[in-house]
Each structure stands twice: as C-alpha cells, then as structure tokens.
Amino acid sequence: MKTFMTQFFTWWNGPTLGTRFFTWRKGTKVGEDQFGNVYYEGTFDSEGRKRRWVIYNGYAEASAIPAGWHGWIHHRVDTAPSQENYKPYPWEKNHQANLTGSAAAYRPQGSIAHGDNRPTVTGDYDAWTPGA
C-alpha cells in the first residue's frame, strides 16, 4: 500500500490522491487490460468528448497500454476493447517495456556503450581538419 506522502506528491508509481478522488467521484470503469491497467471514462472535456484515462498497475509507463486500448483512450475508436470482441491484428506487436538505461537497452554497433571495438576506417573517407 502506498504511503500518504507518496500518493500526495508522486504520479509515476500509482494514482495520486487527487486522481483517486476524481476517479471515485466522476469516473466510470470501462475495462481492464491484461497488464492490470484499469480504464475509465468520465465527464465531458472542452471539445465535447468524454474524458478517458488509465490508472496503471505499477509505474506509469504510457507504452504499457496495449494497441486496442491505445486507440480507445486517444478517441480513435468509440468502442472500448472490453465492450467488443477485440482481436489484435497480426502486425500489432506485444508490449515491451522501455529498456533505456538498463543492461538490455539497445546499443548499436559502433556505439561506445556497445563494448565492441569500432570498425576500422577503410580509407575511403577523409576526416575534416581545420585550416585544410
């Protein structure tokens, strides 16, 4: 259970007290995805559309929203995946966590972080030198 101070001051590791109160007061649960994220719909926004939001299961990471729910939360479709027999297209990829800053982060060949030696220069390129 989150402490009061964590709920009051942070948003990245769960809903704040304000979000919990707003969700309790104005939100209607629409559904839940396979990761445990819970989706809500509420009052109308300034554009006349119903507000939609998600309460993440754990840390708030926007890429953790599956493709079907992404379309719904961004008002690309009107029907939530929980209210229809949603099947992802074969080309839709499964969620992969953001690995930046971890040992599993992408490091292209030639990068200092890659650990390998850079390929040797073949001589078909002359580097710029000042005054030349």
| Helical (H) or strand (E) element with 4 | helix 4-9
The pLDDT of residue 122: 74
The string of DSSP codes covering 34-101 is TTS-EEEEEEE-TTSSEEEEEE-SSS--GGGS-HHHHHHHTTS-SS-GGGTT----TTPPPP----TT
Task: Work out how many domains the chain is built from and give that number.
Answer: 1
> CB–CB of 12/59 below 8 Å?
yes
Q: Which domain holds residue 23?
A: 4-114
**Is residue 123 domain-resident?**
no
**Is residue 128 domain-resident?**
no
| 130/116: higher pLDDT | 130
**Is residue 119 domain-resident?**
no
**Is residue 97 domain-resident?**
yes
pTM of the model: 0.68
The predicted-structure confidence for 22-80, as pLDDT tens digits, reads as follows 888 988 999 999 889 999 999 887 888 889 999 988 888 888 888 889 999 999 999 99
The pLDDT of residue 3: 67
**Is residue 131 domain-resident?**
no
The predicted-structure confidence for 93-123, as pLDDT tens digits, reads as follows 877 778 888 888 888 877 777 777 766 767 7
Among residues 78, 58, 84, 54, the alpha carbon closest in space to that of 66 is found at: 54
**Is residue 91 domain-resident?**
yes
